[in-house]
A and B are shown apart, each in its own frame.
Chain A
């Protein structure tokens, strides 16, 4: 788009100012995030309900998850939220090189998260913990008198793969979005005046981080002492 002077403008003609445009697109991504809250909310609801109905089997099943890998991944994801914040901060000040760097750092951390997650999935596959015809479950907790029911433990892994899988899908989409942003940033598309895609994508990334902040204690930590 061009204004009357011929200079490129990113201000859509139906907005009176960049502030108004930014307010509007921010509202848009928040409305999308509300639908995401209900999307993941249904799964969280199902998980807490089944956990409360099968406390023993779910505690036994969660003992098969690695707290170490889960903690590392939590730190990686929190770090990526921080790099996103730094990218937004750079964009607001028109620091192009810094913006490209922090977008790149976010992508690297996102890929690290997915790599660790893939490693965990591979382990579960080899242990036979993927729900399906080859599912086998052994109660590995020490000092337990009555072993947990494998059929109830299977439900834990259905929910584990469903929730972390959906979360990982969001990560993959997020990395795609950030790659696009980085290419555009290298091309100098974002200016101090207009850089709306950076904070909008940032809000999405933070939301995906928020989901993990709840997934980590619910899946990995509860019932482990």
Chain B
């Protein structure tokens, strides 16, 4: 197998370089003559010092050239619609049904103002309410808020609720520590930190998950709770999780479940049975809303009934056949963002769950686990690939393996292999969150959306790249070749003297050089 793929390589100029002075791509509707006559020089109301002194240096380009530019950039982007994207382990890339894209572009969704009177938004409130009920069923918890606009925002929300809970019991000052594990998502530490906690991280034992003794040693009267992912980033499920939650409860803490990795256990295992008080799901991962190139997104935070009073305002309540926004929440943590959140994402996830139903949801989980394990089986054929925690050899969802042996043999590491996947029409494969406990890590995740053939082709590409590395390391080190851009000078990204986030910075650097 040699790469047959060729990505578009348009070598597009920068947006700021398009067009010619005097061109334009849009004319905003001008006010009518009577309105203009009423305020002929509208800027007189603005003190001169507060008027813009020079026009902004924006592009001056006609519509066809601008549209073409962005279409070409889209062709240089390997979205899941056009490429098999299970390189992004922990991100649960899956099919985002097109019918849902049509639904969110209805005027009844996209042209709603968030402060409309409740009588005029009964439909969207009903969708929010129904989705909440579904998530309660899937998690076993009692209430959800759909306000957090990302998974990490949902973890942060839950940490805020933990803070409010202890404060309500007069223990806010004392309980200032959150326990997490190093294989939990990074936001399981930064979220609690942002909410004011110190974070204690547990390292994995020989089976890849933290030992009970490590947890016991970390618990104290300062413990506010635990924020943990399971299956962890490695795809390894901690079988002692119920013991973990029991011990944290005994110490007076709350248990927060990061369920960003829920895809393999939908309908199989729930937060409630494992003893969690709070959890969250990523609507843009497990529940099919597209990732939108890094948002907008939605993280739904769920809690047990006794914590519902702390949820951000407002919550959707059903009173008879009517849906209302309840703002009267004196114990609420406040708000996580404006209005109710990214409502269009709730529409997509609601429609997705409804399309599947209880049996379909379970089939999603089972197929995801089947796909993950089949992919793992195929990847055993990759030269120099090893499994770091062999006793926990059944991945649930993604898995984290190592190319350390290949690196030692050839000098080609996991990041090099990952980059070269672009030559085969695949997104690069995710390595690991920091710290890199597993050396030369790779973390793929084959969700239920991918066929056996998809998996075979991806595995074949991985095998091919590793064999090429054995034959000619430089060939792989200099790759990729067939995608939209060659290997970059990455040092310029981290050096404040060299980095170029905008042309303004580039001009300033040029001016300095010119001196």
A and B: partners?
no
